[in-house]
Structure 1
Amino acid sequence: MKKVTLNGSFPMIRAAVMGPVVRALDASGAQCDGLLEEFGMSRKLLSNPYEILPLTRYVAAFERAAEVVGESALGLRLGSEVQLTELGPAGLVFLSSPTLNAAMRKFVLALASWQNTTTCELLRDDEWPIWTYQIASPQIWPRRQDAEYSLSTMCHMVRLVRGAAWNPVEVHFEHAAPVDLKPYARIFRVPVRFQQPFNGLILRPQDLDASLKSADSQMARMMERHATDLIARDAMPHSITEQVRDLVTRRLAREKLIVADIAKDLGLSHRSLQRHLAQEGTSVRQIVREERQRSVEGLLEREELTNAAIARAVGYADATVLWRATRSWKKNNP
């Protein structure tokens, strides 16, 4: 299988994917800001579509949103309405490719710039081609909304380039069948099977080789290059210490840093994370202290910032806590 992943990185996804979820919450009149806060997010954070979020939080927030909105098939609906720009370069690569075969294969490669730790590929070994999608980590569960959103999105994209009348041959999902199957019939218009080994769309061989009217070779090359640049820019280092350091740096000012949360976002247990860091001669507490000190030293060079502003920027309650911390650093490192 072709595994879309950034080597050594924690499960991540771009903030742009939360756009449809936020719109659905707002349209329903739900307390969107409260739900975002529950999962360590905010509208300000999500305003940057390239911001990196832990995949675990996105998946859990999507599941919770479906409950809050009272729409069990929320992912199905949002996938059928998605804006391709929210899929980053992968969406535009798909739209501008010459054939559906090329579109799906290039989409798989470009998707690595938008999310990782995902098994996603186009299989043509059997009589019927299959496009598959699955989060690689079994610990991220339940994940029904993400799976249904992803397959509904792919079906929607194919209809954009092949016509609204296009249908797959069959649809497979890894999760159990829900009580209400009408939304699946409405979205896919073909048989849907549940509790399968993977999530996938079964296609016709002739679907893949037909030319697409939306083909744009220049746009495709640009988006492939953009995806490659994003992957290279945000590739994470291999060591657990550096992955923790990256997480701490990203969320230093935004949320309370709790070891259990960091472990979960890395796909590890609390105990495993502590053991790995101990083997590398450090701890979460030490890494947080080092990153705070580094950030404070940089911010102190900016004359326009008050001590209170610097304190907030590194997650301290106020300037007094910052002052105590700087005294401790100077004492330990004269």
Structure 2
Amino acid sequence: MDTRPLARYAALHGYIELGESLGIDSVGLLRAAGLDPAGMDVQDRWVPAAAISRVLESSAEAAGREDFALLLAQHRRFSNLGPLSVSVREAPDARSAFETLIRYQHMYNEALRTRLSERRDLTTLIVDYDTKADVGTRQALELATAVGYQLLRTILGDAWRPVAVCFQHGPPSDTGTHRKVFDADVRFNQHFTGMVITTSDLRKPNRMSDPMLRAYTRTLLESVETAGPPTVLTRVRELIELLLPTGRCSLDQVSRSLGVDRKTVHRHLAQYGETFTSVLNSTRVGLAERLVADNRYSLTEIAEMLAFSTPNSFSRWFRQNFGVSPRAWRASAQAGVDASRLRSTPSDRARTRPETTGKTN
């Protein structure tokens, strides 16, 4: 299915903190883009890449900072790459590290397309960002370029510098942050976005690498490669998790986020023996099981997070699916009892029974 690309929440790591420091309404801007602020804690959750671009652009405008993405890049950590960070860290040299990152870039951002182009003594790292939506990408491109620059500095040492950093778009009114962050020749209105690097630099050893760990990282890479890109079922499930707390979780909204019509979603879910209703209910079951066992949220708050119209409708649904009331389930979890043993066989069979009193239709 040709859907709009997704990206992980890790792309916005540090966003709320940065927004607060600049005096903008970070939470409001996230919601305006269709993102759930509470989901920021789940860095591996997939969300529409267009929504991330929209947040970056609107935040730059709200803060009056054309350098917003560069400021955000300062909050990024090597660990934000998830499992890939281990493999990249143990690559023998800079080129191998970047080739690994490029090969598996779909594991963290499907809109990002980077490639290396070598010509004699110079190698160009080209960065493209395509959300397949009508949304600006200036900030997303600058963020990706800055993160790539930081990665090379981590691999090669703080003394490393690129030959040039290039952007297709025009310069900001003040280029001070760009020149400070990159500490190199920064050029605008170029025919590509990315960096020009001395080829010999890419052959230099990765200073983070430990040869004793390379066999382990090869095994990890094989498991990552086996996992492959997310399936349509995974995409729908994660979008449901994202949209439920907003009260706007519907087949139409999920279809729009994927960039296809509802019939296409139905058709592809059917290949997995699922319907939108069955995925919605199973996703709710998984969320409810975790949330009710956690004492941080009241049952009324959980009912709202799972898009039920009233706490009573949530309680009825919970009993149908778990065989006990949410209060009993929580009490067992708090007492250290395996609450799943409270389920009865009929309730287990009811896990896929649709609830008609929620706010998702």
Aligned to 2:69: 75
Alignment CA distance shift 1:115-1:224 (3 Å): farther
Alignment CA distance shift 1:199-1:92 (3 Å): farther
Matched, 1:131 2:154: no
Of the three residues 170, 187, 209, the one matched with 1:193 is 187
TM-score, normalised with respect to structure 2:
0.70
- Is this contact kept in 2: 1:8–1:236, CA < 8 A? no
Size of the aligned set, in residue pairs, is 312
1:254 corresponds to which letter in structure 2? P
- Is this contact kept in 1: 2:35–2:243, CA < 8 A? no
Aligned to 1:3: none
5+ long unaligned stretches in structure 1: 1-6, 330-334
**Shift, 1:73, TM fit:** 0.6
Aligned to 1:4: none
Task: Give the % identical residues.
Answer: 17
Aligned to 2:330: none
Give the secondary-structure state (helix, strand or coil) at the position aligned to 1:85. helix
Matched, 1:207 2:201: yes
Output aligned runs, 1:43-192, within 5 Å. 43-80=37-74, 82-139=76-133, 141-192=135-186
Alignment CA distance shift 1:45-1:226 (3 Å): farther
Give the secondary-structure state (helix, strand or coil) at the position aligned to 1:202. strand
* Alpha-carbon distance in structure 1 between the residues aligned to 2:207 and 2:289: 55
**Shift, 1:248, TM fit:** 5.0
- Is this contact kept in 1: 2:5–2:132, CA < 8 A? no
- Is this contact kept in 2: 1:245–1:287, CA < 8 A? no
* Alpha-carbon distance in structure 1 between the residues aligned to 2:241 and 2:223: 20
* Alpha-carbon distance in structure 2 between the residues aligned to 1:78 and 1:281: 37
Matched, 1:18 2:9: no
- State the Cα deviation string for residues 82-103 of structure 1 (Å, max 9, x = none): 3211232334433332211111
Question: What is the RMSD of the two structures over their aligned residues, measured on CA atoms?
Answer: 3.9
**Shift, 1:202, TM fit:** 0.7
Output aligned runs, 1:235-274, within 5 Å. 235-237=229-231, 242=233, 245-251=236-242, 253-255=244-246, 256-257=248-249, 261-266=253-258, 268=259, 273-274=261-262
TM-score, normalised with respect to structure 1:
0.75
1:273 corresponds to which letter in structure 2? D
Alignment CA distance shift 1:226-1:15 (3 Å): farther
* Alpha-carbon distance in structure 1 between the residues aligned to 2:76 and 2:303: 40
Alignment CA distance shift 1:163-1:257 (3 Å): same
- Is this contact kept in 2: 1:93–1:110, CA < 8 A? no
5+ long unaligned stretches in structure 2: 318-352
2:245 corresponds to which letter in structure 1? R
**Shift, 1:168, TM fit:** 0.9
Matched, 1:318 2:302: no
Alignment CA distance shift 1:199-1:259 (3 Å): farther
